[in-house]
A = this chain, B = another copy of it.
Amino acid sequence: MAETARHHEPRYGIRPTMKDVAARAGVGLKTVSRVVNGEAGVTPDTERRVTEAIDALGFRRNDSARVLRKGRTASIGLVLEDLADPFYGPLSRAIEEVARAHGALLINGSSAEDADREQELVLAFCARRVDGLIVIPAGGDHRYLEPEIKAGVATVFVDRPAGRIDADAVLSDSFGGAREGVAHLVAHGHRRIGFIGDQPRIHTATERLRGYRAAMEEAGLEVADAWVALGSTEPERVRAAAEAMLSGPEPVTAIFAGNNRVTVTAVRVLAGREHPVALVGFDDIELADLLGITVISQDSATLGRTAAERLFRRLDGVDEAPARVVLPTTLIARGSGEIPPPPGA
């Protein structure tokens, strides 16, 4: 924030305060407060005078001061990975709706999958004294949150569990979903199936890999090292990983994509292939139906809503042990599973 050197800032537009309203209406400060808050015990006549003064001056209550006095901010903080990711938009929106129903506002921040930035955001929110926090963790150690939670900041983790502390978490069934998706490929006759997932430090990535391995094992299939690739979801890396497992000595005939970003790039890679390769992806993506992509769908809005409801239950005083809620995923089978070449190509 640019720091101006001036000390007495010229106060751009001075805002009227309750004091100003009181003076103009010829009443006491507290009476204005009562009118503004709709408290009982004000004569209609007095109320009218105050209301007129408010309108005349364009007064609007300063919630900063109110917050300071009352201790509650009626706001919650949401830290997620990247608001631009289509998975997080609906999640954020769902949380906002629940917050709105509880009269709270939502502050959100993107961690960009960086643990330091996550912590920075979380602590900034705490400094603002948000009533509660919903966190999609980037880091693996949340002990830094312990004093805040002890101080009364309700906290719920979403999509991935907290690290090193005991806290509420609302998750999707990554293991089960991946297992089901891979089993689907097996059922369609595939024997050599590749797995491309996110970075191994991310809980969902390893869980989905676990699901993949479980499904393969259950089918009595060996997994070659070359078939598994965990790492960044940058398009170049995904492309390289996919091409590697498609061209090795034991080329895969199907790929399981660990999340929506991987799926998108994988679709592009596979669309250019001569021999069709099947694809199943974790997370539904727009227009996947038209491309015939089978997916393991997790409803990010439900994830968000569930977490937010849990948060507000805590804020309403419900005091139970932290729990882990796991929401089921849905396999949506579409088309043959092979990606057609792009039209006009």
Please state if A127 and B61 are interface contacts (CB–CB under 8 Å).
Answer: yes
Please state if B84 and A301 are interface contacts (CB–CB under 8 Å).
Answer: yes
Please state if B290 and A271 are interface contacts (CB–CB under 8 Å).
Answer: yes
Instruction: Give Cα distance in the complex from A67 to B151, angstroms.
Output: 21
B-chain residues with CB within 8 Å of residue A123 when the two chains form the complex: 60
Interface string of A281-325 (1 = CB under 8 A from B): 000011111111000000001000000000000011100000000
Copies of the protein in its oligomer: 2
User: Which range holds the interface residue count of chain A?
Assistant: 35 or more
Instruction: Give Cα distance in the complex from A127 to B13, angstroms.
Output: 15
Please state if B93 and A84 are interface contacts (CB–CB under 8 Å).
Answer: yes
Tell me whether A140 is interfacial, beta carbon within 8 Å. no
Q: Which of A102-110, A158-166, A174-182, A196-204 contacts B (4 or more CB under 8 A)?
A: A102-110
Shortest beta-carbon distance, A276 to chain B, in Å? 10
Q: Which of A20-28, A68-76, A228-236 contacts B (4 or more CB under 8 A)?
A: A68-76
Shortest beta-carbon distance, A157 to chain B, in Å? 19
Please state if B150 and A13 are interface contacts (CB–CB under 8 Å).
Answer: yes
B-chain residues with CB within 8 Å of residue A1 when the two chains form the complex: 72, 74, 102-104
B-chain residues with CB within 8 Å of residue A128 when the two chains form the complex: 63-64, 75, 105
B-chain residues with CB within 8 Å of residue A286 when the two chains form the complex: 86, 264, 285-287
The interface centre, meaning the residue of A12, A64, A344 with most chain B CB atoms within 10 A of its CB, is: A64
Shortest beta-carbon distance, A126 to chain B, in Å? 6
The interface centre, meaning the residue of A105, A110, A288, A301 with most chain B CB atoms within 10 A of its CB, is: A105
Instruction: Give Cα distance in the complex from A74 to B127, angstroms.
Output: 12
Tell me whether A328 is interfacial, beta carbon within 8 Å. no
Instruction: Give Cα distance in the complex from A93 to B71, angstroms.
Output: 30
Please state if B15 and A151 are interface contacts (CB–CB under 8 Å).
Answer: yes
Considering the complex, give the chain B residue whose CB is closest to the CB of A62. B129
B-chain residues with CB within 8 Å of residue A189 when the two chains form the complex: none
Tell me whether A345 is interfacial, beta carbon within 8 Å. yes
Shortest beta-carbon distance, A330 to chain B, in Å? 19
B-chain residues with CB within 8 Å of residue A92 when the two chains form the complex: 83-84
17 contacts between A and B (CB under 8 A): A1-B102, A11-B152, A15-B151, A15-B152, A60-B123, A62-B127, A64-B129, A65-B68, A82-B93, A96-B109, A100-B109, A268-B289, A291-B343, A292-B342, A335-B342, A340-B340, A340-B343
* Apart from the given pairs A75-B128, A285-B286, A336-B344, 10 other A-B contacts in the complex at a CB distance below 8 Å: A2-B315, A60-B147, A63-B129, A82-B93, A85-B89, A106-B108, A264-B287, A287-B291, A290-B342, A334-B344
Interface pairs A-B: 6 shortest CB-CB? A335-B344, A12-B152, A13-B151, A58-B147, A292-B343, A1-B103
